[in-house]
Amino acid sequence: MDCFFVSVMIRDRPELKSKAVAVAHTGGTTPSTGIGSSSEISSCSYAAREKGVRAGMPMGHAKELCPELMVLPYDFEAFDEVSDQVYRVFHRLAPVVQAVSCDEAFLELPAGRVATQVRSEILERTCCPCSAGAGSSILLARLATKRAKPNGQCQLSQEDALAMLADMPVKELPGVGYKLAERLAQHNITQCRHVQASTQEQLQSLFGNKTGKLLWTFAHGEDTRAVVPYTPRKSLGAEVSWGVRFDDQVGANEFLTKLSGEVAVRLKDQGCKGRTITLSLKRQRQASTLHLWHF
């Protein structure tokens, strides 16, 4: 789906279709509000992106870049409703569906059933635009979707993918996180073209057999991963990053108690018991150029 939260919020507000719009915890529907706010942008329209606004950006900085930005609140009931409608279309048209998020999935479509039908039915049912990418593998489909946005569709061959991959940062490859990207950069490998110029053996000698092989195959547009309709859960948790700003220890304790209670409810619903408890604390990286009030 394209700008999922924003698309849901403005589907009944045609006057905002071409405007710079964002969804966040706080802000307001008038352009003058939000300056100095530490709230973060969750989703933003393409008109807002043209002004430099991005998801995860502090509200104050977003308003500096785009003073006319219209900020709408979350409506989780609407998000759930539209997500359910989208997945109903997926499961009706595709025999195998691998859920990625509330608005994204991989589909194995039978011959003769094309992305056009999927997109048209989703638009008809939800009034929200979506993009679709088709390819012979998960990697190619994802790359094709990136090229198709916004509100389009694209089919990508492996030959076309090689050229597209060459200009892509290596950190955007599957499995390349912050730590691995740092290690790659230490060897002057920042673009996929740098991986393509290396042999698989060279990469394996630097990063290990498994990681080196994955880097080489993904950078060459090869992907043998299968679309899996269901994967057993390995963990269960709860995380909140928007609207969480504490002024004192009392507020932090109350929040932690409520969050722990939510995890307990989810464990009970799934009939599970916990063996290990993990608490994640988000901190600002030293290299970050924007001050995010994460504690």
Distance separating alpha carbons of residues 150 and 138, to the nearest angstrom: 19
Give residue-wise pLDDT tens across range 142-193: 999 999 999 999 999 988 999 999 999 999 999 999 999 999 999 999 999 9
CATH number at residue 81: 3.30.70.270
Distances (CA, A) of 30 to 61, 63, 65, 97: 16, 11, 15, 40
Q: What is the DSSP letter of 246?
A: -
Yes or no: say if 102 and 42 are a contact pair by the CB < 8 Å rule.
Answer: no
The encoded tokens of residue 170 equal: 């290596």
Residue 120 located in a structural domain: yes
Q: How many domains does the chain have?
A: 3
- Provide the residue range defining the domain that includes 116: 77-161
Q: Is residue 237 part of a domain?
A: no
CATH of the domain at 186: 1.10.150.20
Cα 195 to Cα 212: distance, rounded to the nearest angstrom? 10
Do 31 and 46 belong together in one domain? yes
Which DSSP category does 106 fall into?
E
The residues annotated with a catalytic role in the active site are 104
What pLDDT does 278 receive? Answer: 83
Among the ranges 11-20, 35-44, 260-269, which has the highest mean pLDDT value? 11-20
* Across 256-281, average pLDDT: 86
pLDDT attached to residue 35: 53
What is the arrangement of strands in the sheet containing 21-24, beginning at the earlier edge strand? 41-44, 21-24, 70-72
Q: What is the pLDDT of residues 130-139, one digit of tens each?
A: 999 999 999 9
State pTM to two decimals. Answer: 0.78
Question: Per-residue confidence at 36, pLDDT binned at 50, 70, 90?
Answer: low
- Tell me, yes or no, whether 246 lies in a domain: no
Choice between 245 and 170, residue whose per-residue pLDDT is larger: 170
